[in-house]
Amino acid sequence: MKDGQKADILLREVRLALGEQRFHFDCSIGEGLITAITGRSGSGKSTLLNLVAGFEAPQQGRIVIGGQDVTELHPSERPVSLVFQDNNLFTHLDLFTNIALGISPSLRLAKEDRRNVSAALERVGLGGFETRKPGTLSGGERQRAAFARALVRRRPVLLLDEPFAALDPALRSTMADLLLELHRDDGTTILMVTHDLEEVRRLADEVLFVEEGRISFAGKRDDFLAQETSGAISEFLRRS
């Protein structure tokens, strides 16, 4: 992305070491776009996402979201919501409660909040599932519920870490459609870790390719897919 273009998420000279691994991220992530973070296993994709989410703290550099420096903010104070591969639903709580926790951790809910929970379930195709427990749902339904919980938070940035990795290919494709639909409706900035090239093709506007703790490509999806001559990226494209 060019200088001066409005960027929703900025990582400015962010440096971090975890064990032997060193990371250096300097990038801007466009507002209202779907950006895929991709690369080989162990390259640092989740670490990049975790820095934005606030689960990892940089040793140097700044992280700015929507013009606000969030580097020192706790994850819960950042303008982001998250969906992970294992969806993190509480198994002993019904779906209504699981999703309501996205609005209020103490479950102090106004009438409107209650309506919003049911509306979010409706939007992801789980209308009427309020009293079901996660254990009674299929994998795809659980992941839909995790999306509903992210939706009720109404944060401008949605962070996804391999959200469909545990699903079978048909379900992956359905969930990808759902994500595109939600994105079209809300225009949320989406940052998504995936090692699945098909997901990059279908979902991403922009791509960040991570290699040994650094971003070696940042740009448009089609430009990324055309990188047939560059070593690590072309190998990644061939293998995927």
Q: Which residues bind ligand ATP (CB under 6 A)?
A: 18-19, 21, 39, 41-47, 195
For the chain, state the CA radius of gyration: 18
Judging by DSSP bridges, how do beta strands 206-211 and 214-220 pair with one another? antiparallel
Q: Name the residue nearer to ligand ATP (CB basis): 18 or 110.
A: 18
Judging by DSSP bridges, how do beta strands 60-65 and 34-39 pair with one another? unpaired
Closest separation between CB of residue 14 and ligand ATP, Å? Answer: 13
Q: Name the residue nearer to ligand ATP (CB basis): 152 or 158.
A: 158
Q: Name the residue nearer to ligand ATP (CB basis): 101 or 193.
A: 193
Closest separation between CB of residue 80 and ligand ATP, Å? Answer: 17
Closest separation between CB of residue 162 and ligand ATP, Å? Answer: 7
Written as six digits, the tokens of 159 are: 């962070």
Q: Name the residue nearer to ligand ATP (CB basis): 44 or 58.
A: 44
Residue nearest to ligand ATP (CB): 19
Closest separation between CB of residue 31 and ligand ATP, Å? Answer: 24
Helix 169-186 × helix 139-152 angle, to 10°:
10
Three-state DSSP class for 182? helix
Cβ neighbours of residue 224 closer than 8 Å, sequence gap 6 or more: 200, 207, 209, 217, 233
